Structure 1
Amino acid sequence: MENREIAKEVIQAIGGEENIASVSHCATRLRVMINDEKLIDKDRVENIDKVKGAFFNSGQYQIIFGTGTVNKIYDEVAKLGVAEVSRSEQKQVVQEGNFFKRAIRTFGDVFVPIIPVLVATGLFMGLRGLLTQPQILDIFGMTPDSISQNFLLYTQVLTDTAFAFLPALVAWSTFKVFGGSPVIGIVLGLMLVNPSLPNAYAVAAGDASPIMLLGFIPIVGYQGTVLPAFIAGILGAKLEKKLHKVVSETFDLLVTPFLTLLIMSILSLMIIGPIFHSFETVVLNATQWLLSLPFGLAGLIIGGLNQVIVVTGVHHIFNFLEVQLLTNLGENPFNAIITSGMAAQGGATLAVGLKTKNVKLKALAFPSALSAFLGITEPAIFGVNLRYGKPFVMGLIGGAVGGFVANILQLAGSGMSITVIPGILLYLDSQLLPYILVNVIAIATGFALTYFFGFKDEDLKEI
C-alpha cells in the first residue's frame, strides 16, 4: 500500500478529519490528538499496512510506524490538510497530561530535531577512533605518528562542532517549539558560546578564569551545556511573542528582536546560566554516582527499567543525560546499558515469533524483533511483548542481565541514539567484542526466558 493510501486509511480509522484536533510525530510514532476516543476503530488501525502498534499515552493516540516511515506518513497526512495546528490547538495540546509528562514531552520535542546531528557526531567519533587505532594503522604499514595533523584537525571539526555549539542548537529548537523566531534562538545560543567569553572547559581545567561581574557573579561561556540554553529559549520565545503584541507594527521588526536579544543575553549570562549550569552539574554528578555503584548495580537498575520508561513515554529525559555525559566525559556509559534493554526485548519478541503457531502473530513478531535489533523497540513492546505481558517481563530481566554485564565491563560509547546493531559503530575500538557479547547475552536471556517460561499459544488473545 502506498504511503498516501495508508495516511487516508489512518484518518478514516480514527474517525475522520473532524475527530482530529492535531497531528504531530516523533522519531517513531504518529501522535494524534483525538476529539472523541470512542470513534476510533482500534482493530482497523492496527491492521493498516506498516502500522506496528497503537496506544494512548499522555492524551495522545500514538500510532507506531518506525523511523523513516513515520516521517513519510506524516507528510502525507499533512498534504491531506489535517496536520495544520492552530495556536489555540497548540496550547490545548501542551496542556494535556500532568506537569511532569508535559515537561518531558516538551523536552523531547526540543531534542528530536537535534538528535540526527548528535548521532552523526557520535559516528564520526567512532570512525576516528577506528582509523587512529595502532592495530588498524599497522595493516597499512602506518603508526599514529604517520597521521597528518591536518587530517586530525579535520576530524576534530567533525566531532567537536556540534557539542561546542550545542547551546545554539538547543536555543534554536526551543524557540521553534515555543513559537518564537528560530533565528533569534540561534543568535542567543551563539552568544552563550561566544569566543570572547572565557571557555567553560578552560575554566574547569584551570587554564582560564571567569569574568567576575559585581565581584561575585561568574561569567563564562556555556560550551556543551543544555539547560541554560533550554531555559533561555523558553523565556526568550515567550518574551518575543509578548513584544510582538505590545510593539506597534511600524517598529516591530526593529524593536522586538533588539529587545529580545538584549534582555535575554543579560539574563542568560548573569542569572540563567550560573543557576542552571550549577543544577546541570548536580544532575551530572548524580548520574555519575549512579553509574559508579559497585557490583554492576547501575546496569541492573537501568537495563532492567529502561523499557518501562519507554512505555511511559518519558524516556526523552535520557537525551539530556547522555549529552551531558558526552560533553563532560567524552564517552557515554548509558548507551551500552540501555542497548541491553532493547536487545532483550527483541530477543523476547523473536521467541514469541518462533514458538507461536499463529500465522498473524508470526508475521508481526519477526519484523518487530528486527526493528528492536535495529534500536527501535516500540513495535516489539506494544505490538507483541506488552500485549501478552510475560514476554515483556522476561525482556526486562534480559535487559537487567545485559546491563549488569555492560556495567561490569565499563562499556561506554562514543555517541548516542543508536543502539544494538547500528550501535556497533560507537564501539569500533577495544570495546567492540565486549559490546557484541553484552548484546548476545541480553538477547539470549530474553529469548530463553520467554521461550521456556514467558509464552504459550494458549495465552493468545484475538489480534
Structure 2
Amino acid sequence: MADENRRIAEELIEAIGGKENIDTAAHCATRLRLMVKDKEKIDQEKVEEIDKVKGAFYNSGQYQVIFGTGTVNRIHEQVIDLGVSESSKSDQKEQVKQQGNAFQRLLRTFGDIFVPIIPVLVATGLFMGVRGLITNLFPDALPENFLLLTQVLTDTAFAFLPALIAWSAFRVFGGSPVIGIVLGLMLVNPALPNAYDVGSGDASPIMFFGFIPIIGYQGSVLPAFIAGFFGAKLEKWLRQRIPEALDLILTPFLTLLIMIFAALFVLGPVFSAVEAAIMAGATFVLDLPFGISGLIIGGLHQVIVITGVHHVFNLFEIQLLADNGLNPFNALITAGIAAQGGAALAVGLKTASKKLKALALPSSLSAFLGITEPAIFGVNLRYVKPFLMGLIGGAAGGFFASLFNLQATGMAITVIPGTLLYLDTAMSLILYIMANLIAAGTAFILTWLFGFNDKMTQ
C-alpha cells in the first residue's frame, strides 16, 4: 500500500510539472492542496488518470486534488517525503488571500468568519428538530420544565449570535477574540430593549437625542460583523500607539468604550437597515410563487459551488434562522446536491470502465452525504452532460420543495444527514425525502438516457 501511494505521489508531482513547479503542499479532510508557480505546466488529463484521484481543479494559485478521507493523508506524506515543502492549511490560506480580485477576497473573508461558527448552529438546528419530534409524539405528556430546558439548547446560540460573529471577526481581522466576544455580548446586554420584543411591539427602543433608536441586536448578523471588523482594526491601531506599560489596561478599555458607542449609535442603526434591505431582496426570491424560487435556486446552486463563492449564503441562512427559526433555503440547495449524486450514480452504474466506476460510485455516496466536490469535479463536470442533467434534477427537486414551502430547522447539513433538520413534523420529513428522491431520480434517469455513454470516456 505504501509503495502504491509512493507511485501515485510520484506520478502526481510529474503531472503537475515537477517539484520545481510546487511551492508548498498541505491537505484538508479530502483534498491535497498544492501552491503551484505556473498552472500552465499542469497536465490536467494526466492528473485525472492517476489512481485514487477523484478530481482536480485550480483556484487562486492553489491546485486541489481530491483523494478522499484517509487517502489524502497518506498521499500527502509521500509528497512531502519526495521533497515538496510542507505548509499548514492556514499558511496557504494567507497566500491565497493575497490572490484573486477584491470580490473574491471579500467572499473568502465571509467564509473564514462564518464557517467556524456553523457547527454550533448545526447543533442548534438538530436540537430544534429533535424537540419538534418529541413534542409531536408526546404533545400532552411533557412537563413544562422539560420544555423550558430545551429552550436552553435551542435558543442560546441565536440569543448570543452577535457575540459569536464578533469573536470570529476579531479573530480573522487580527484583533483579540476575547474583546470581540465581550463587544458582541454588549450588543445583546439585557439592559438594552430586546430586538425581538421591539419587533413584536412588546418593547420600545431607547431614544437618544430624540431621533436615534437604541435596541439590542439579538439575531443580527451584519451589525456584529461590521462592529467586529472596525473593532479589530481599532485595537491594532491602538496597540501601535499606546506605550507597552499601559497597553494591557488602555487598549481593551478604549476599544470597548469607542466601539460600543459606535455600534449602538452609528454602525448598528445603519447596517441594520442594510441588512433588512438585503434580506428583503433575498426573501423576495424565496417567496416567488408557483415554485419558481426552487427552480432557480435548486437548478443553479451547484454552478455557484463551482465558482467557490457559495459560502456567502451562510450569512443569508444564519439570518433566516435568527429571524424565523426556519430555513427554506436548505431544502432548495439540498435538491441540487442530491441531483449531482444521482447523476454520478447513473454514470457509475452505466459505465463499463472499472476505473470510472470505482470513482463515480463512491463520489455519488459522498454527494448523498452532502459533499459534492468529488462527484462534480471527478465525474459530472468532466463529461459535462451529467452535470447539466444534475442541474435539471436540482431544479425539479427544488421546484417540489418550494411548492410545499419545505423548511429546515437548521443549516449546513444536507441530503441524508439533513434529514435530522426535518424531524419537527412527520409531513416535513416525508416531503424532504420526496424532494431528494425527485432531484436524484430525475438526474439519474436523464443521465442514464441522455447524459452519458462510454464513448464520452474516449
RMSD (CA atoms): 2.9
What code does the residue aligned with 1:367 have?
A: P
Contact 1:292 1:298 in 2 (8 A): yes
CA distance in structure 2 between the aligned counterparts of 1:247 and 1:17, rounded to whole angstroms: 45
Query: Equivalent of 1:57, from 56, 59, 72?
Result: 59
Q: For each residue in 1:46-82, what CA deviation from the matched residue of structure 2 results, as whole angstroms up to 9, or x when unmatched?
A: 5777653221123432344567988999999999852
Cα 1:207–1:398 shift into 2, 3 Å: same
TM norm structure 1? 0.88
Equivalent residue for 1:455? Answer: 452
Cα distance, 1:38 vs structure 2 = 5.1
Which residue of 2 is the match for residue 141 of structure 1? none
Is the alpha carbon distance of 1:84 and 1:196 closer, same or farther for their aligned partners in structure 2, counting shifts above 3 Å? same
Cα distance between partner residues in 2 of 1:65 and 1:220: 50
**2:151 aligned to which of 149, 156, 161:** 156
Q: CA separation of 1:93/1:260 partners in 2, compared to 1, >3 Å: closer, same or farther?
A: farther
Q: Match for residue 132 of structure 1? A: 135
Partner Cα distance (1:185, 1:34) in 2:
36
What does 1:374-385 correspond to in 2, within 5 Å? 374-385=369-380
**Residues 1:200 and 1:63: Cα distance change in structure 2 (over 3 Å):** farther
Q: CA deviation at 1:230?
A: 1.0
The amino acid across from 1:300 in the alignment is: L
For residues 145-190 of structure 1, the C-alpha deviation after alignment (integer angstroms, 9 at most, x for no partner) is: 3211121111100011111111111111111112221111111111
Query: Equivalent residue for 1:116?
Result: 119
Call closer, same or farther: CA 1:333–1:215 in 2, change over 3 Å: same
Aligned to 1:229: 224
Shift of 1:382: 0.5
- 288, 308, 312: which is aligned to 2:307? 312
User: Residue in 1 aligned with 2:432?
Assistant: 435
CA shift in 2, pair 1:32/1:102, >3 Å? farther
Counterpart amino acid of 1:34? Answer: V
Identity, in percent, stands at 64
Alignment of 1:28-177 (within 5 A): 29=31, 31-37=33-39, 51-64=53-66, 81-83=86-88, 93-133=96-136, 136-137=137-138, 144-177=139-172
Q: Which moved more, 1:70-79 or 1:306-315?
A: 70-79
For the pair 1:394 / 2:397, whether they are aligned, the reply is no
Specify the alignment match of 1:212 in structure 2.
Answer: 207
Residue in 2 that maps onto 1:365: 360
Point out where structure 2 has 5 or more consecutive residues left out of the alignment.
none
1:171 touches 1:186 (CA, 8 Å); kept in 2?
yes
8 Å contact kept, 2:9–2:79: no
Point out the more displaced range, 374-383 or 39-48.
39-48
Equivalent position amino acid for 1:272 in 2: L
Q: Quote the residue 2:191 is aligned against.
A: 196
Question: What secondary structure is seen at the aligned counterpart in 1 of 2:406?
Answer: coil
| Amino acid paired to 2:389 | M
Counterpart residue identity of residue 412, structure 1: Q
Between the aligned partners of 1:422 and 1:20, the Cα distance in structure 2 is 37
**Cα distance, 1:9 vs. partner?**
4.3
Matched, 1:341 2:344: no
Secondary structure in structure 2 of the residue aligned to 1:209: coil
CA–CA distance in structure 2, aligned partners of residues 44 and 349 of structure 1: 21
Q: Report the 3-state secondary structure (helix = DSSP H, G, I; strand = E; otherwise coil) of the residue aligned with 1:114.
A: helix
TM-score, normalised to structure 2, is 0.89
Contact conserved, 2:331 with 2:401, CA < 8 A, in 1? yes
- 2:259 corresponds in structure 1 to 264
Distance in 2 between residues matched to 1:67 and 1:94, nearest whole Å:
25
250-259 or 327-336: which moved more?
250-259
Give the residue type in structure 2 aligned to 1:147.
L
- Higher deviation after alignment, 279-288 or 442-451: 279-288
CA contact (8 A) 1:78 1:84 kept: no
Report the AA paired with residue 230 of structure 1: F
Residues 49, 201 of structure 1: alpha-carbon distance in 2 compared, 3 angstrom cutoff: farther
Residue 39 (structure 1) shift? 6.0
Offset at 1:34? 3.2
Counterpart residue number, 2:278: 283
Contact 1:342 1:373 (C-alpha < 8 Å) held by counterparts? yes
Partner Cα distance (1:456, 1:228) in 2: 52
Q: Provide the rounded CA distance (Å) in 2 between the counterparts of 1:362 and 1:218.
A: 62
Q: CA deviation at 1:17?
A: 9.3
Change (3 A) 1:85 1:196: same
Q: Distance in 2 between matches of 1:78 and 1:112?
A: 28
Equivalent AA in structure 1 for residue 455 of structure 2: E
Give how far 1:16 is off: 4.9
Contact 2:26/2:86 (8 A) holds in 1: no
1:421 pairs with one of 409, 413, 416: 416
| Counterpart contact for 1:77–1:83, Cα < 8 Å | no
- How far is the alpha carbon of 1:370 from its aligned partner? 0.3
Q: 1:444 corresponds to which residue?
A: 441
The answer on 1:299 being equivalent to 2:302 is no
**Residue aligned with 1:212, SS:** strand
Summarize the Cα distance change of 1:270–1:124 in structure 2 as closer, same or farther, 3 Å threshold.
same
Q: C-alpha offsets along residues 188-212 of structure 1, whole Å, 9 cap, x if unaligned? A: 1111111111110000011111111
- Distance in 1, Cα, partners of 2:146 & 2:78: 43
Structure 1 unmatched ranges of 5 or more: 138-143
Look up the equivalent residue of 2:223 and give its one-letter code.
P
